Structure 1
Amino acid sequence: MRHAKAADALMQEMHGLSETAEVTLAGLAGGRPIGSNDGHKPTGVTGMLSDEATSNKPMLNRLDVLANEALTRWELPAGAHARLINLSENATYLVGAPCGFRSILRVHREGYHSRNAIACELEWLRALKSDGGVLTPDVIAGRDGELIQTCAVSGLAGERHTVMFAFIEGSEPDPDHDLARSFEELGEIAARTHLHSQTWPKPEGFERLVWDVDAVFGSTPTWGNWRDGPNVDGSLRPVLEKAEEVIRHRLHAFGKDPDRYGLIHADMRLANLLIDNGVTRLIDFDDCGFSWFLYDFAATISFIEDHPQVPRLKEAWVRGYRKVRALSAEEEAELDTFIMLRRMALLAWIGSHAEVPYARELSPHFAQGTAKLAQTYLSRFS
């Protein structure tokens, strides 16, 4: 990570902030936009699936075919066409028609979420909007009334689940403005989602990812083993091993009581907020799952955990959170443990996504930066 950048430039790069609503809506896929180039971000398709390299134009062409064939599953205006705007864990398309109609089509990565898991995500999305006080995107049902349409096309392995969202006008928080104000709002939104999570009666068979110690450090970690991260060598491993040991110990002691652990968004970055005329909507629930509520803060500073602004942003997030939901001094003191847990998960992610341009961009110094964070963390907690 390049520490010499100004904070606003860092936030713009790390969270994929853009000036257009079309590219902003790529946040539904949790990735970075296609074709954006502000002097920091690589140009071109970014954020690829592990089995679909960026150079695989035939695969992209087949995805385009699938997306446009899938449009027949919905009642859409004449001439509707899907255009790829983001490729990350999922492929996200802007759907447009000559009459001015717009929507967002999400084509899910094969094998990442089951159909039931996607349905559970959409059910929580609906419930948050209806009774949780959090504005979320509307989901457009297909001709058959189903929210999820499963499609296949020759030349593309397996079936793909697709979901269509209503187009949302708006833009992400401006990185040139005071980021503390945006983080305070993030804290308020996080607290509302956590209050809802605690009381919402989940449907039978509710299924989502789990983001706990085993998901990061277990035998089958979701994003891979941090030891396989780039440049994790013998000089860095001891401090990272010790950090893992302390994280495991502290989170075991912290516990998973229902006032601390439950269903969370798990990717509540600035890039996943859309603001229009003072109204803020939360998007991209693709990673939502079960974890500690405080993990949501760690996700807000993904990839910039070592930036000097982080303490101030943490204070702002906590201040906003406490406007809505209680947060004890003990819980606040443990935020650094969740930051370290997330950082080591991201180190694993970079190692398991070597074909992603952004991962390659971060890979030279990310392990070293993680080790420095671990040293600071251990100076407080070991």
Structure 2
Amino acid sequence: MLNTHDVAIEALTCYSITYQSIDHIGQNANTIYKVTDEESNCYSLRIHLSKNDSMERIWSEEKVIHSEMIWLESLINDTDLVLPSPIKNNIGEYITKIADMNCTLVKWVEGEQKQFVPTVNDAEYVGKLIGKLHKQSSIWKVPQSFTRPSFDNTRISQSLEKLKQLADGGELNKNDVAILQLAGERAILMMNDIERTPSNWGVIHADLIPSNYVFHKQEARAIDFGACGFGYYLFDLGWTLSYIHPVFRSQLLESYAKQFDLPHNYVQQLEGFFVAAQLETMNFWLGLPDSNEWLPSHISKLASREFKLYVNKEEFLFSGTPYWE
């Protein structure tokens, strides 16, 4: 059986580039190589193979990957954003299959990656980026064949059930999980009360956290659209805000609102989607081999801070100590 490096080398023979170097840079949801050609142009070669055993198979299905490429292409055509532009292979297709593994090639996006958003200006750049993504999505005519997962309450319920099982088995604190359960149920009720319209629901990135955007001069650039799917636009912001310090969140939202309107009750909804985003992401985290080393502490902080306030119907979006401190 070919290893991933051999797969990457064979995949590159299917594109009209001559590579000078190929470097493995990560493996999580996908196995990723940075490719540099003879003219110093850089690309990201993705082998859609996860190290997470609990990763749902849908993410590596050909039609799902192809739909990601279709949205990326439309974003590049419809906006001024710098994004990982998809490259078609020598037979004009986005996906190259090597040894039953799906591979894609996109242009490398230059910029500085930061572990967190350290300044008000950076927060504003991120808000502007997300606003532009949502504006395009709200008016984009989704092709009939477009196939991506939906981020709805089903995935949150799945996460809550997994957490309950771990708590019952003594692997997580029962009191912490009970608070997460109450917060999750409240967030689900909120989501069920929102009528889906083009102004609040569409294709979203669904993973706009610091590892998935880079900074270049006075802009933020999104990378890795591998988790994109259908969802509420505020769900997208919920993921992002859970990695933004409370003192920077208002500036991010002000910048966002210059590109795409926020609903009148956005604070209450964003707090619910903050909770929902954390719970949805736990579906992925719980499948990581080292999650038992850090996830219980993470859950404990959430339970004693944001989730506890949410259960008690107290606002937390712009104040308090974030769970990572």
Q: What SS does structure 1 have at the residue aligned with 2:225?
A: coil
| Counterpart position of 1:212 | 152
Contact 1:224 1:351 in 2 (8 A): no
Q: What SS does structure 2 have at the residue aligned with 1:65?
A: helix
| Counterpart position of 2:238 | 298
Matching residue's letter, 1:227: K
Match 2:192 to one of 242, 245, 252: 252
Matched, 1:335 2:275: no
Contact 2:129 2:221 in 1 (8 A): no
Matched, 1:275 2:188: no
How far apart, CA to CA, are the structure 2 residues paired with 1:160 and 1:142?
15
How far apart, CA to CA, are the structure 1 residues paired with 2:166 and 2:79?
39
How far apart, CA to CA, are the structure 2 residues paired with 1:235 and 1:224?
15
Matching residue's letter, 1:115: E
Matching residue's letter, 1:140: I
| Counterpart position of 1:130 | 77
Match 1:375 to one of 292, 308, 319: 308
Q: What SS does structure 2 have at the residue aligned with 1:74?
A: coil
Match 1:151 to one of 80, 98, 101: 98
Match 2:131 to one of 157, 172, 191: 191
Residue ranges of structure 2 left out of the alignment (5+ in a row): 51-56, 316-325
Q: CA deviation at 1:246?
A: 1.1
Q: CA deviation at 1:121?
A: 0.9
| Counterpart position of 1:321 | 256
Contact 2:129 2:220 in 1 (8 A): no
Matching residue's letter, 1:233: N
Describe the shift of the 1:288–1:181 C-alpha distance in structure 2 as closer, same or farther (beyond 3 A): same
Matched, 1:76 2:76: no
Q: What SS does structure 2 have at the residue aligned with 1:83?
A: strand
Contact 1:224 1:349 in 2 (8 A): no
Matched, 1:115 2:54: no
Kindly tell me the number of residue pairs found equivalent between the two proteins: 304
Q: Give the aligned CA root-mean-square deviation in angstroms.
A: 2.7
How far apart, CA to CA, are the structure 2 residues paired with 1:336 and 1:264?
18
Residue ranges of structure 1 left out of the alignment (5+ in a row): 1-58, 153-158
Same amino acid, percent of matched pairs: 22
Describe the shift of the 1:100–1:188 C-alpha distance in structure 2 as closer, same or farther (beyond 3 A): closer
Q: What SS does structure 1 have at the residue aligned with 2:113?
A: coil
Contact 1:128 1:135 in 2 (8 A): no
Matched, 1:170 2:107: no
Structure-1-length-normalised TM-score? 0.72
Structure-2-length-normalised TM-score? 0.84
Match 2:183 to one of 243, 259, 264: 243
| Counterpart position of 1:39 | none
Contact 2:126 2:220 in 1 (8 A): no
Q: What SS does structure 2 have at the residue aligned with 1:294?
A: helix
Q: CA deviation at 1:106?
A: 0.6
How far apart, CA to CA, are the structure 1 residues paired with 2:257 and 2:117?
26
Q: CA deviation at 1:89?
A: 0.8
| Counterpart position of 2:320 | none
Contact 1:142 1:149 in 2 (8 A): yes
Q: CA deviation at 1:201?
A: 0.9
| Counterpart position of 1:13 | none
| Counterpart position of 2:285 | 350
Contact 1:140 1:147 in 2 (8 A): yes
Contact 2:215 2:221 in 1 (8 A): yes
Describe the shift of the 1:323–1:229 C-alpha distance in structure 2 as closer, same or farther (beyond 3 A): farther
How far apart, CA to CA, are the structure 2 residues paired with 1:99 and 1:214?
47
How far apart, CA to CA, are the structure 1 residues paired with 2:83 and 2:39?
25
Matching residue's letter, 1:137: P
Residues 81-110 of structure 1 show CA distances to partners (whole Å, capped at 9, x for unaligned) of: 432111011000012356644322011127
Describe the shift of the 1:100–1:331 C-alpha distance in structure 2 as closer, same or farther (beyond 3 A): closer
Contact 2:76 2:83 in 1 (8 A): yes
How far apart, CA to CA, are the structure 2 residues paired with 1:198 and 1:176?
26
Matching residue's letter, 1:232: L
Residues 254-288 of structure 1 show CA distances to partners (whole Å, capped at 9, x for unaligned) of: 33233211111111123322333445432111111
How far apart, CA to CA, are the structure 1 residues paired with 2:161 and 2:71?
27
How far apart, CA to CA, are the structure 1 residues paired with 2:219 and 2:67?
25
How far apart, CA to CA, are the structure 2 residues paired with 1:89 and 1:200?
27
Matching residue's letter, 2:308: Q
How far apart, CA to CA, are the structure 2 residues paired with 1:234 and 1:172?
37
